[in-house]
Structure 1
Amino acid sequence: MNSLGRLVLPVSRAVIFKNKPVLFRSVMTTSKLAEKAMENLKSNPYFEKYAKKIATLQETSPEEFLSKLQETEIERRRKAEAAKEEERKCALRASESSKIQTDTALQSKPKSLATVMKMELIEGKSAEEIKQIWYEYYGQKDGVAAVVPAANFLSILENSRTHPLFLFPLPRSNGYEFVVCQFAGNDIHFTTLINYQTHKENAPECLTLTHYTDLIDSKGIVLMRGEFDTDLLTVSEAQCLANQVQLYYGIPTESKKRLLDTFTNNPSAFKFMDLVSELENLTL
């Protein structure tokens, strides 16, 4: 045996496990399994450290070495399949709510702009002037606010009817955390995926985006205000989530439309890392 890639047992030699002969075809399959395991082993950052011990075992006890490689590869594949299955279950659980959304929830009464702003401040003002006033009110350093063009908001509203529930990746220092967003009329509610899985509709919110449509006909704009839990999100993180709403619901590319459709209609095929790829490609 010069290498695992050339491992072939002669046909004339009988290999017996539990008194049952192993067919030649099975030996070849085992060899491929061990070859794949060896590739993964070499890619391990600690391989060089133990390379001599591995070579010695391979030389002195080839059957034991092969057995350990097979066991390692089988365990790796088992864990990979388990992780894939858990991801599929998460997507299924997260999409269940989108299937049972009621028209009542989606058509909740919009909040009036007068509840958060003195209307006399914008009386007789142009859309651009109102935009500046709105950002002075809520777009300061610690605020989340936006002035959304009417066409973009109508796109958000339309897409939310067919995709009332979705996920967004949120960059963290040690990777990504996934956040569930749920639409209810002109409001969008956010909670972390782990809280959603635990508490469902009673999950604590980390961010709420409210859209005020009072000026959509007269000025062609919709004012958005965000309130968030400062113990769970920073300003930049809240803004990141608000921006992703625009990217997926307001002005979605074809790839983002496909992700929305897959999540809602074919959750078993949905992959969390596709969301991460979209975000990272956007950053680039």
Structure 2
Amino acid sequence: MSFIVRRVNFKISSPLIQTRFASLVSYDNYLERRFKQWYSTGAIDKYQDKLLKKAKEQGFNSISEFLASAREDIEKKKKELNRIDPLKELEDYEKKMSGNNAKMTNARGPIDMNQKKVPFKTLDSFLNVEKIKELSKQEIEFLWRAKWMNKDDALCAVVPAEVFDRMLTNAKSSPIFVLPLPRAAADGKEASDQTQSVELHYIQWQFVGPNTVHCIMTSLAEFKLHNEFAKPHTIFQFHLEMAKEKKIVLMNGQVEPDTNVSLQDAQLLLLNVQRFWGAMGEETPIAKQRVKMLRDFTKGSPDFNVDLLISLSQSMEN
């Protein structure tokens, strides 16, 4: 499967975000001034006895150790204040794309909060687990693929357990991310490099049972509109019942029929789920970049960059 690789120039121009960062810089400077004011040489000489007493109360052997710890606390506070909300970093891009005449995912309204919750499906919902345990790994794979082969809106896979374990480790520490999906112009015409449309999708892992993990997908625009009541357009289910004995994890996914997300769109998003959550390893330079971006998003690091996210997702390198 091949896609045209294009970059989108992304620039944060929101006055609200600029004001926010300006206030953080001012507060950083304030902390530095206060540190110098209270812990200057003159202040140390004047309050040496009190500082030494304070240092010993907190388990330090000297004033210098106490002051070094105080500076570390200030640096930690500065890092905390400089955290960003990555979803807000995407606002300018979403606004830009909304006026770009692109074919975006249909909004379907929120989930009814009063709707009765249906129990999640385990592997037993599809195959008799006790019976297939007696089969070989190859026979289980054949049955699993045969189960879904005639369903036009379904995807399935058999994932090696060690590969899924890598994804699961990253999913537990970083369960939420955004992934771009290339979109054609609404009129079907080829877009220039500067106007190539990319729609952002919200990805969330849910650990619903001891042997069942879900990866749900919805458009970022719909998630921002409805939050936890946003309707997923695609849900992938991973079943771990065969992981220990057969060293495989069975996956099935379904694309909802009332959206304009195609099976090919879901496959591309799933490919990038594998890439960014480390299924293909973390050894190559580009694989390291992808996993780092996932972690930067989770930590709210200023290093998170939408332009780089799009570039990494469209690159054919692994």
TM-score, normalization by structure 1: 0.60
Q: CA RMSD in A?
A: 3.1
Check if 1:273 corresponds to 2:307.
Answer: yes
Amino acid at match of 2:13: A
CA-to-partner distance for each residue in 1:238-264, whole Å, 9 max, x for gaps?
111222221121224101111111111
Q: How does 1:122-137 map to 2 (within 5 A)?
A: 122-137=132-147
Sort the Cα spacing of 1:162 and 1:177 in 2 relative to 1 into closer, same or farther, 3 A. same
Query: What one-letter code is carried by the residue in structure 1 that aligns with 2:234?
Result: L
- Distance in 2 (alpha carbons) for counterparts of 1:273 and 1:199: 26
The one-letter code matched in structure 2 to 1:251 is M
Q: Which is greater in Rg? A: 1
1:150 matches 2:122: no
Q: What's the TM-score once normalised by structure 2's chain length?
A: 0.54
- Structure 2: unaligned runs, 5 residues or longer: 1-9, 22-83, 91-118, 186-196, 208-212, 282-286
Match of 2:280 among 234, 247, 251: 251
Question: 2 CA distance for matches of 1:239 and 1:247?
Answer: 12
Alpha carbons 1:144, 1:227 under 8 Å: kept: yes
How many pairs were matched up? Answer: 193
Corresponding letter in the other structure for 2:263: V
1:274 Cα deviation from its structure 2 partner: 1.5
Describe the superposition over 1:17-69 as per-residue Cα deviations: whole angstroms up to 9, x where unpaired: xxxxxxxxxxxxxxxxxxxxxxxxxxxxxxxxxxxxxxxxxxxxxxxxxxxxx
Unaligned stretches of 5+ residues in structure 1? 1-78, 96-108
Partner in structure 1 of residue 126 of structure 2:
116
Give the residue type in structure 1 aligned to 2:198.
Answer: Y
Greater fraction of residues in helix: 1
Tell me: CA distance 1:94–1:272, structure 2 relative to 1, closer, same or farther (3 Å): closer
CA distance in 2, matches of 1:83, 1:183: 30
Matches of 1:94 and 1:129, distance apart in 2 = 47
Pairwise CA distance, 1:152: 1.2
Maintained 8 Å contact 2:86/2:300: no
Mapping 1:112-261, distance limit 5 Å: 112-119=122-129, 122-140=132-150, 141-174=152-185, 175-185=197-207, 186-232=213-259, 233-249=261-277, 250-252=279-281, 253-261=287-295
The one-letter amino acid paired with 1:236 is Q
**Whole-angstrom CA distance in 2 between matches of 1:277 and 1:84:** 26
Shift of 1:178: 0.8
